Chains A and B, each alone.
Chain A
Amino acid sequence: MGRQVINPWLLFLPAFIIVGFNSFIPTFYAAYLATQKYTLGVPSIFIGYDNFFHLMFDPIFWDSLSKGFAFVFACLVIEIPLGLALALALHRDTRVNRVIRTILSTPLLIPPLVVGSIWLLMVRPDIGPIPYILRKLFNLNYDIGTSPFQAFFTTVLMDVWHWTPFVFLVLVAARASIPPEPYESAMVDGASSWDIFRYITLPGMKYGIMIAFLIRMMDALKIFDEVWVLTAEGPKKATNYLSIYIVKTALSELDMGYCAAMSLFFLYIVIIITFITLKVMARR
């Protein structure tokens, strides 16, 4: 377009002011808080980089970061192949498939808090059907309140329930974007179904898989609501993911300076992953 019909800044400014106020002020304020020894209710004292120093040598912080990445890894390892298999099983645009797709996508919009309460009802040892069935069939004691592994596993299971549909929908869209011609010529050449998958389907869906992978990674790293309801930090801090640790520290120790330092660190990690995601999207 040759001439600009209206000053773009005028259109851009209202949104910029609202989001800018909302993000710059808290970010800079967090940077300021991070230099303070500030317990809620007590006047703050300037302590320079001590909070970051503390963070470097806080074993619980690094433990929580590695638990977080273990969670992300476990979720991705299950959700991506499962979502892919479902997408390939249901990619044809028939009436039945559309109905199944709608049913499978219900968990996506459910409030994360309710996802947590649903799984709490499912796995509580006194009232839940899962521990009940495992006890009856295998005489297995399933208790997320005492077993660190079971607590971790349950959060992964919950995330698989909640977000596999997302991977599935993204990959259905990716599968739909592959033109039919390569498949037709492969059929003519008599290629095996594994070859078709390996050399046509998978390369054609690469972009969709990348997007699903990166967005899932970011969201899984940030997970809070469901886990907070289900296990909080869990037995032996088995589900003490980063968001949980920050909020728990804020609530129990009211040490806002240290929490702000952790928040900034967390923010950097997520911004780096976001940046990679955008690079991938822009290359397309």
Chain B
Amino acid sequence: MVSWEKVSSRILVGLMLIFILFPLYWLIITSFKTRLEVIGGVVFLPHKLNLINYYRPLFEDVYGAYLRNSFILSIAEVAICLPPGILAAYAFSRLKFKADNHFLFWFLTNRMAPPAAFLIPYWVLYTYLNLFDTLHGLIIINSIGNLPFTIWVLKGFIDAIPREVEEAAYIDGYTFWQMLRRILLPLLKPAIAVSALFVFIFTWNEMLFASLLTTSPAAMPLTGGLLHYMSQIWVNWSEIAALSVVANIPVIIAIYFLQKHIATALTFGAVR
């Protein structure tokens, strides 16, 4: 017997799949069309695929430099956030200290704060401090959300490791740092990889600071460059589509590894 609930839920899922996938399909085929094909009217199946839109902006224009900046920025952000994040997450998970819960919540409020609210003071401060239009300026400002994120996610993972493992190490005469290096870090390896990947993606995706606190190809990441491209008067939509696809590449790789952790990470461990 086929119940109407089953049928209606199948239909719902089918419609949702189309709703989610069609815009992505449209982005990808637009990136393979020529400029004239795009302007010439709506075509759902392109006749042939050409790669010119990928070649020109990345190799003849400055977008290759923006792409490089995005990579440097995201990797540096991971390097800045993980070591202090691991230590603080351990302190919050295992040790008691004065007002620890208040500090933990304070970290989260920084993550939750609207970036647009921080933009104005940073903008003025950065011009005074000569951090305007520099990559290290962007690295600093991105850590305001990413470091609290690292702490919250890693704290959840450390909470899940039984304490006996560490206690056995201390009985064997390990100091804290020896225990950290030989016992805890190896156990945390997958957790560290997951949080590193998330921090990489968040930094890679960040646009507000990237577009307004940098101006030159020496410092501007891809998101900033793409936004500036779109605000020009004479716009080639298929190149925008191609650059958008390029900006998506790390995401497509990451989603495979992060699938199981997305709900946990985006709710700061409230949902497992």
Contact = CB atoms under 8 A, between A and B. Distances in A.
Contacts of B110: 19, 22-23
A25 B125 contact: yes
B103 A12 contact: yes
Interface residues of B, number: 98
B116 A18 contact: no
Interface string A97-110: 00011111111111
Interface stretch (A52-60, A69-77, A139-147, A241-249): A241-249
A2 to B, nearest CB: 10
Given A8-B97, A229-B230, A111 B39 contact: no
Nearest to A136: B42
A113 B226 CA distance: 8
Given A102-B259, A222-B114, A113 B271 contact: no
Interface in B162-210: 163, 167, 170, 176, 179, 201, 204-205, 207-208
Contacts of B230: 117, 120, 229
Contacts of B268: 281
Nearest to A257: B120
A243 B116 contact: yes
A65 interface: no
Contacts of A281: 268, 270
A55 to B, nearest CB: 14
A266 B116 contact: yes
Contacts of A165: 20
Contact of A111 (B113, B247, B263): B247
A192 to B, nearest CB: 11
A132 interface: yes
Given A166-B266, A242-B116, A86 B12 contact: yes
Interface stretch (B51-59, B60-68, B137-145): B137-145
A284 B103 CA distance: 19
A273 B114 CA distance: 12
B143 A19 contact: yes
Nearest to B252: A106
A151 interface: no
Interface in B67-97: 80, 83-85, 87-88, 90-92, 94-97
Q: Mostly helix, strand, loop or mixed at chain A's interface?
A: helix
Given A112-B205, A121-B27, A215 B12 contact: no
Among B108, B205, B212, B263, max chain A CB count under 10 A is at B263
Contact of B144 (A23, A29, A251, A267): A23
A18 B115 CA distance: 17
Contact of A109 (B5, B16, B112, B262): B262
CB-based closest 7 A-B pairs: A89-B9, A243-B116, A15-B88, A111-B205, A14-B84, A26-B121, A8-B95
10 contacts: A8-B96, A8-B100, A11-B95, A12-B87, A19-B143, A102-B259, A107-B20, A121-B26, A121-B30, A224-B115
Given A1-B167, A19-B144, A264-B117, 16 more contacts: A8-B100, A15-B84, A16-B103, A33-B124, A106-B252, A109-B251, A111-B251, A112-B207, A114-B244, A121-B240, A211-B267, A218-B112, A228-B207, A250-B120, A256-B124, A277-B112
Interface of B: 5, 9-10, 12-13, 16-17, 19-21, 23-24, 26-27, 30, 38-39, 41-42, 44, 80, 83-85, 87-88, 90-92, 94-97, 100, 103, 105, 107-110, 112-125, 140-141, 143-144, 147-148, 151, 163, 167, 170, 176, 179, 201, 204-205, 207-208, 212, 223, 226-227, 230, 237, 240-241, 244, 247-248, 251-252, 254-256, 258-259, 262-264, 266-268, 270-272
